[in-house]
Structure 1
Amino acid sequence: MKVVNVVLSILILLLAIASAVFSYFLFDKRSQLVEGWKKMATTINQSATEMDKGSGTKVGGELTVAALSHENYADLDAKLAKLTTQSRQLIKQRDELAETLRSIGTVAEMNNVGSSDAFKNMATYSTSKDDVVQGVGALIDRRNKIVQSVVEAVRRNLQLTIDANKLRAADQAALNQFSQRLTQFGNERRDFENTLNEIVRQAGGSSLNFSGNNFKGALDQARQAVNGLKGKLDEANRTIGARNQEIQRQKNELNGKNNEIATLKKSLDDKIYQLDGLRGALGLDKNDVLPMPWKPGSPEARKRIVGHVADVSSKYGYIAIDLGTESTVQQELGNKVGEINVNLTPGLEMVVSRGDLAVPTSDFVTKVKLTKVDKNCSIAEPIGEQKDTVQVGDKVWFDIN
C-alpha cells in the first residue's frame, strides 16, 4: 500500500510538474498570440489608414488597434467587414480608373493602348499609365499646334485676332467670332469670284473656274484678260491722245483762221469803205452794184478788142496787126470810162475775118498766132485752115464766147 502511495505521489508530482511546464508553454504561446493579434490589428489599422488617404473614407479611424483588440472579439466580424468593403470599393475604383485610362488612350487615337489587365496589374500598370499620359500629351501637343496654326492663319488671312487659350477651351464667343469671320470671308470670296468673272466677261474672256486647284490658273486667266483689256485701253488712250492733239492742232488752226477771218473782215470793211468811196466817185448810189473793172488781159477785155491787118508779107508768110502792148479797150464805170489793157503777148491766137462783125455775114479767113508784140504793132503768122488770102484791112479779134 505504501508503495502504491509512493507511486501515486510520484505520478501526481510528475503530473504537477508537467502541468506547470505546459502552463508555462501555454502562457508563452498566449503571449505570442496576443502580440501577433496586436501586430495584425496594427497592420489592419495601417492598411485602412493608407486606403483612407485621398479616398474620402475614415475606416482607419474605426479600425483602431484598440477596436481590433482580442478583448473586442465579439465586434471583430462587423469591424473587419468595413475593411473588406473598403478594399472592394478601392478595387472597383481601380478597375474603373483602368477602363477610363484605356478609354482615354483609345480616344487619343493611341496605337499601343494596353488591355484592361495591363492597367490593373501591379507590374504593368505604371508603363500602361505612362503610355496614356504620353499619348494624351501628344494629343494636346497636336491640338496646340493646330490651334496655333489656326490662330496664325486667321490672323494672316482673315485679319482676325483670336485668343488661342479661348479657342483651346472651345469658348463659344471665340468660336462664333471665328465662324462669323469665316462666313464673311466665304461671302467675300464668292463676291470676288463673281466680280472677277464679270470683269473677264466684260473684257471678252471666258468664264473662270475657281474650284479645286484652279484658283491660280483662274487668276492668271483673269490677269491675261485684264492685260488684254488694258492693252486695248492703252491703244485707245493713244488714239484719243493723237485725236486730242489733232483736235488741238485744228483748234489752233481754227483760231488762226478766226484771226485771219478777223483780219480779212477788217480788210473787207476797209474795202467796203473804199468801194463806197468809189461809188461816190463814180456817181453811183450806195445800193448800186459797183462795176468790177476788167483785169488787164482778161477775157472781158480781149473779147472787145478789134484790130486790123496793117500789112501782109506773102514772101515771109507773116502779117502785121495794128495792136500792141499799149492797146486798150474802154469800160464804162459809172460816170467814168476806164482804159483796160488787153495785155497782148506772143503765143496768143486770134481770128482774121472780113466784113462786119455784128452781122452773121462776117467771113472767116484764118487763124493767126502772135509771134512778136511791140508797143503799137504785132507780128503774127497764119495757123490752121485758111479760107481766103489775108488782106490789109481785115479785122483781127479774139474768139471768146
Structure 2
Amino acid sequence: MDIKAIRSEFPILDQQVNGKPLVYLDSSATSQKPTPVIEAVNSYYRLNNSNVHRGVHTLGTRATDQYEGAREKVRAFVHAQSTEEIIFTRGTTTAINTIAYSYGNANLSDGDEIVLTPMEHHSNIIPWQQVAKTTGATLKYIPLQSDGTITMEDVQATITSNTKIVAMTHVSNVLGTINPIKEVAKIAHDHGAIMVVDGAQAVPHMKVDVQALDCDFYAFSGHKMCAPTGIGVLYGKKALLEEMEPVEFGGEMIDFVDLYDSTWKELPWKFEGGTPIIAGAIGLGAAIDFLNTIGMDNITEHESKLVTYAMQQLATIDGIDIYGPEKRAGLITFNLVDVHPHDTATVLDAEGVAVRAGHHCAQPLMKWLQVTATARASFYLYNTTDDVDRLISALQRAKEFFGDVF
C-alpha cells in the first residue's frame, strides 16, 4: 500500500488542529471521506439530481442507474447471492431495528430466547430489549472471558432449543474482539435459531462473505467505510426477507394502494419506503470502488501492523490499562490510571491527536470492565506509524500534565 498516495486522497487530513498536524484516530466512530467519494456525491447533485424509480426522464434514469448500480456494488462487496438481499437503510441501527421489529415481533413469543453478548453496541441490545418486552421473550448473554473473548463451549451452553435469535457483533467497537461468526451461526442453526450480525466494525476493515459466514442477517454502516453518513445496509437471506413485513410505509415501497388495503413491491424495495438516500448510496458505491482499488486484504494487513506497533509502544508507558484480547482488530481501548478518559482525550486534542472518550455506546461492557468510560484509538487505511508515535508522545504529555501520578 502506498500510504502517502492514499492519504493524499483525504483532504481533511491536510490540516492543523490546535497548531499541530491532525492525527485522526477515531475511525471506529466515523471514517474520513476520500476525494472520489466527495466528488461522486457532488456530481450527483450537480448533474443527476432526481428521484429514482419514478420518472422516465433522463435525470431520473441516470439517478436510478447510479442508485441501483451502488446496490450491485454492495452485493458483490459482501458476496450476497442477489441484490434482492441488499436493503439500503440509514445505518446499522436502522437495519437492526428493522430485523427486531419485523422478524422479531412476528416470530418470538413467551419463553423464546434471544442470545447476545455483553460486548454489543447499544444498537444491538436495546432493540432486542424492546422486542422481548413486547413478545415475552427473554434475553440471555454468552459470558466473556477475562480478555473479552467468547468460547465455543460457552456458546454451546447458552444457546438452547428455546433460542430463536442469536445477535452478535462481528468486531467489538471497544475491545477489538473478532468473533467467530461462522461457528456461532452453525450452532444457532443447529438449534433452529437465526443469526443476526452487527458488522459495523468489520466490513470497513476485512473481507466479509455473508454466504460463507451463513448468517441470516448482516448490518453495517457506510460512514465507517469512507462513505457518507446516513447510509447503511441490511443484508438478509431472501427467504426470510420475503416473509417479513415492512416497518415503514408510504411511497416507493408499494405495489398497489386501495382505499382500504395495499400491497407491497417485491424485494428489496418493499423495505425502502419514501424517497431513498440516493446520494448516500451513490457515495457508498464510490467508497466500495475506492476500497476495492486498495484491496481489503491490504487494508487488514496494514491495520494489523499498526495495532501491533501501537501495542508495543503503549507497553512502554507506565500506568496505562489496555482492554481486550491480544489478537484484535485495528483499535485499542485504554485508560491512564487515575485520569478520566475525557481529560486524557482533551490533552491529546491539544496535541492535534483525535481519539474517542466515553462509554462508546457499550455501557454493559463498561460495567463488565469495571470502568465508567475509556479512551479509544482506532486505526484505518490512512493512518501511519508516525500517527502512533504522535499518540504516544501526546499520552506522555498527558501524564506530565496530570502531575505524573504514576
TM-score, normalised by the number of residues in structure 2? 0.17
- Say which structure is richer in helix: 1
Larger relative contact order, structure 1 or 2 (CA cutoff 8 Å, min sep 6):
2
Q: What TM-score comes out, normalization by structure 1 length? A: 0.17
